[in-house]
């Protein structure tokens, strides 16, 4: 049995009167890739953001690597170091070069030696194919390159889990492939990943499990095979036919 990296029980989240997550249950095991799909507003982003506590839940339980995290008593900054996040709009630091973007957190948060952090940052940039862009500012990069830097930046903290919130939705179609390739490579290396995406090709090829969200709930989940070829719920069928 693989280690349980994320366990969510009865998770609830509201914004004012709007109940965005209603009793969500989810478990993610080590090295698994879980793809979240669902219509706009179904709560996918909110669920991801609850997992690294950018949003604070209103109820339920979040267990990260076997430890229940209580936002009141836990140091969330430490929890977030274990859970990397990649955003739709990259959110690179525009006043720092690519290399500085990647080095920032290891040096400032982990007090890593600068030389060592730079060496590791360069290895990561090599890995995402951007060694030649180390000294460039983000504004000079294409969207695909920005997103790969963002992935390298998150990996620099050596997280155990990576969350991706529509990492290719803001990209020109011809740039989507390079980012998905980087993510696929990461998955093959055994990274535990939760990915919100509309790229069904990626889901079919890489995901261990696909989770369909509707109206703040997990409506149906299964292997890509099961969910795409043989969905059980009417809603899932409707959603799938609407996006294909």
The reply to whether 80 sits near other proteins by the rule CB under 8 A is yes
Pick the stretch among 4-12, 38-46, 179-187, 201-209 that binds ligand ATP (CB under 6 A): 38-46
For the bound state, the minimum distance from the C-beta of residue 14 to ligand ATP, rounded and expressed in Å, comes to: 9
For the bound state, the minimum distance from the C-beta of residue 212 to other proteins, rounded and expressed in Å, comes to: 25
The reply to whether 43 sits near ligand ATP by the rule CB under 6 A is yes
The reply to whether 56 sits near ligand ATP by the rule CB under 6 A is no
- Rounded to whole angstroms, the Cα distance separating 196 from 45 reads 7
For the bound state, the minimum distance from the C-beta of residue 132 to Mg ion, rounded and expressed in Å, comes to: 32
The reply to whether 45 sits near ligand ATP by the rule CB under 6 A is yes
User: In this structure, what DSSP letter does residue 139 have?
Assistant: G
Work out whether the CA dihedral 106, 167, 224, 66 comes out positive or negative: positive
The reply to whether 40 sits near ligand ATP by the rule CB under 6 A is yes
User: In this structure, what DSSP letter does residue 225 have?
Assistant: I
Using CB atoms within 10 A of its CB, is residue 216 exposed (0-12), middle (13-18) or buried (19+)?
Answer: buried
Tokens read off for 74: 């836990």
Angle between helices 114-127 and 143-155 (to 10 degrees): 130
Task: For residue 182, give the H/E element and its range.
Answer: helix 173-188
Residue 200 three-state SS:
helix
Nearest to 133 by CA among 112, 117, 152, 114: 152
The reply to whether 46 sits near ligand ATP by the rule CB under 6 A is yes
The reply to whether 164 sits near other proteins by the rule CB under 8 A is no
212 and 239 in contact (C-beta within 8 Å)?
A: yes
The reply to whether 89 sits near other proteins by the rule CB under 8 A is yes
The reply to whether 167 sits near other proteins by the rule CB under 8 A is no
Give me the 40-59 binding string for Mg ion, x by CB under 5 A, dash otherwise. Answer: -----x--------------
- Rounded to whole angstroms, the Cα distance separating 143 from 151 reads 12
Q: Which residues bind ligand ATP (CB under 6 A)?
A: 15, 18, 20, 38, 40-46
Q: Which residues bind Mg ion (CB under 5 A)?
A: 45
Q: Which residues bind other proteins (CB under 8 A)?
A: 52, 54, 77-78, 80-81, 83-85, 87, 89, 91-95, 104-105, 108-109, 137, 139, 150, 153-154, 157
């Amino acid at each position: 049995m693989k280690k349980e990296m994320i366990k969510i029980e009865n998770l609830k989240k509201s914004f004012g009167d709007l109940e965005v997550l209603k009793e969500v249950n989810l478990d993610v095991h080590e090295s698994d890739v879980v793809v979240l799909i669902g219509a706009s507003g179904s709560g996918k982003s909110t669920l991801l953001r609850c997992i690294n506590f950018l949003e604070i839940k209103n109820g339920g339980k979040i267990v990260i690597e076997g430890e229940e995290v209580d936002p009141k008593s836990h140091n969330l900054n430490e929890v977030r170091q274990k859970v990397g996040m990649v955003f739709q709009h990259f959110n690179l630091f525009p006043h720092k070069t690519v290399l500085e973007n990647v080095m920032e957190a290891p040096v400032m948060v982990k007090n890593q030696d600068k030389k060592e952090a730079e060496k590791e940052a360069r290895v990561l940039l090599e890995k995402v194919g951007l060694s030649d862009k180390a000294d460039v500012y983000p504004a000079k990069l294409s969207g695909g390159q920005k997103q790969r830097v963002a992935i390298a930046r998150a990996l620099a903290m050596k997280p155990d889990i990576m969350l991706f919130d529509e990492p290719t939705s803001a990209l020109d179609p011809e740039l989507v492939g390079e980012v998905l390739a980087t993510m696929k490579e990461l998955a093959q290396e055994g990274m535990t990943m939760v990915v919100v995406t509309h790229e069904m090709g990626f889901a079919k090829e890489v995901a261990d499990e696909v989770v369909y969200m509707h109206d703040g709930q997990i409506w149906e989940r299964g292997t890509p095979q099961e969910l795409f070829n043989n969905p059980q719920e009417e809603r899932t069928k409707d959603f799938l036919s609407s996006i294909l």
